[in-house]
Amino acid sequence: MHAPRCSNRLVPRLLAGALAAALAGCAVGPDFVKPTPAAPDDWTSWRSGDASLRIPTEATQALPAQWWLAFNDATLDALQQRAFDASPDLRTAALRFAQARAQRNTVAAQRGPEINASGSATRQRQSQSGAGTRMIGIMGADPSLTELLAEPFTLYQAGFDASWELDLWGRVRRSVEAADADVGHQAALLDLARLGLTSDVARNYFELRTAQRQIRLMREDIAALEDRAALLQARVEGGVLDHTDLQRQRAELAALKAQLPPLLAQEAASANQIALLLGERPGALRAELAPREADAGTSLPDLALGLPSEVALRRPDIRAAEARLHSATASIGIARADLYPSIRLGATFGYESYLSGEFSDWGSRTWSVGPSLGLPIFDHGRRKATVQLRELQQQEAAINYQQTVLKAWQEIDDSLSAYSAEQRQARELQTRSDAAGDAYQLAQARYDGGVTDFTAVLDAQRSYLQARRDLAASEGRLSTRYVTVNKAIGNVPLDTENAAGKGME
């Protein structure tokens, strides 16, 4: 007599205990601890190379977010804006970010009960010799009863059911945590795509302008050498000179013309790459990227960076690696929760009747309520192997995070050293170009005065033309070095939310 009472009390107690455990916030698995990687106090603490390549640190302001504005180039500004609006890569990254947020909402929906409603009206007929009528035949009942049971009828059903999995071990909470980390990961990748896009547009733009500048210098030099060759031709025909000087000049002219086709090909390749970044066909940007008649003056900063080391740790790739580590840590809890029993509360209520007139009667109601228990017993070690796999994946993510941080500082050091070295080289090449120009004019004057032969003029001419081209190449590289510095420190121009919304339009 006492056993039934104990049984009747046991179920409510179990449900109450399970509900208390679910609300207590218990979650198996390790909690994520934000990593604190080693970082220098300033930019010069972790540097390689000669001391002359180090950047001073007197400044206290960071580089502007829209760093390409330092070039004062309206065409570059317009290309960057078009890239933000139309880049296929950026829109793809924005859509992946939106998918991660939608997936997070899907996972978070598991925290509450699930309620469904259903209804049906079906026409049915039972078999006269089926399992449902077997007992009637065994009992020797009137065969007409079997025929009566087998007559077609309509069954009306309607109701709703509700179920809720008690998150006893934090499986759902860890799943939401992992989904949040995945959202952060995709947000970081979106920033990384934006940073890469602005850098690639600027880099290809400067390579294009450098090629165009060298083409213009090359054509000016070719025209000058053709004029000189014509002058020598006239002197040869007048008997003043022999053919030696003329042939030397023609050889120099042919060598100079041979350098022009590769520059033209480089110009076309850079223009096509910019068009691809903007989602345009080849040749669509011909008007915007047309060669300029003169070079626009550009004054780049000295990069006296007085920035704290934490700036580098906000690089998108570092944030993405941290988010991957967070997700991997939460996945351990998800796998461990599968080792424990699961309890799901369920309830159903509805109406069922084969008589349409009595469908809504209280006597046609049906209901059920109670918990269901899932207890893992034996699965050949599959769940434990999954836990081990998640732990190994977390270790891999931790190593990847450390490697990403080290790579970030290596790229920062390389970019700062390269920018400083290019600045020094550009200054020396400017001095060389000025001196070579003066030497060329002096050699020409001495040749015209009969003091020296034409060999000295050719040597001075060759040095001057090469010096001009080397200076143009160095100034172009200096601009791309500035782009690399901004990419290395993770100078992302816009916020994630705006770009993500633009990608979902």
Q: What domains can you pick out in the chain, each with its CATH number?
A: 21-86+169-340+381-504 (1.20.1600.10), 114-166+343-375 (2.20.200.10)
Radius of gyration of the chain from its Cα atoms, rounded to whole angstroms: 39
Residues forming beta bridges with residue 121, ordered by sequence position: 156
| Under 8 Å between Cβ of 252 and 461 | yes
Query: Measured between alpha carbons, how far is 501 from 505 in angstroms, rounded to an integer?
Result: 7
Measured CA to CA in angstroms, residue 25 lies from 18, 19, 169, 177, 341 at distances of 12, 11, 8, 13, 16
pLDDT of 82 reads 93
pLDDT, averaged per 10 consecutive residues of the chain (505 residues), comes to 42 51 68 83 71 61 77 92 92 95 92 87 81 69 72 85 87 93 96 94 94 90 84 80 81 90 94 94 92 68 59 85 96 92 88 82 86 87 93 96 91 88 91 92 86 80 88 91 90 58 42
What DSSP designation does 503 have?
Answer: H
Which amino acid belongs to residue 178? A
pLDDT of 206 reads 94
For residues 497, 501, 502, 505, the Cα torsion angle rounded to the nearest 10 degrees is 180
Which three-class secondary structure state does DSSP give residue 307?
A: coil
pLDDT of 60 reads 46
pLDDT of 111 reads 86
The pTM assigned to this predicted structure is: 0.81
Measured CA to CA in angstroms, residue 120 lies from 41, 67, 155, 158, 356 at distances of 71, 64, 8, 6, 12
Measured CA to CA in angstroms, residue 273 lies from 204, 207, 266 at distances of 7, 11, 11
Cβ count near 361 (within 10 Å): 11
pLDDT of 205 reads 95
For residues 124, 128, 129, 134, the Cα torsion angle rounded to the nearest 10 degrees is 90
pLDDT of 164 reads 87
Query: Measured between alpha carbons, how far is 373 from 253 in angstroms, rounded to an integer?
Result: 90
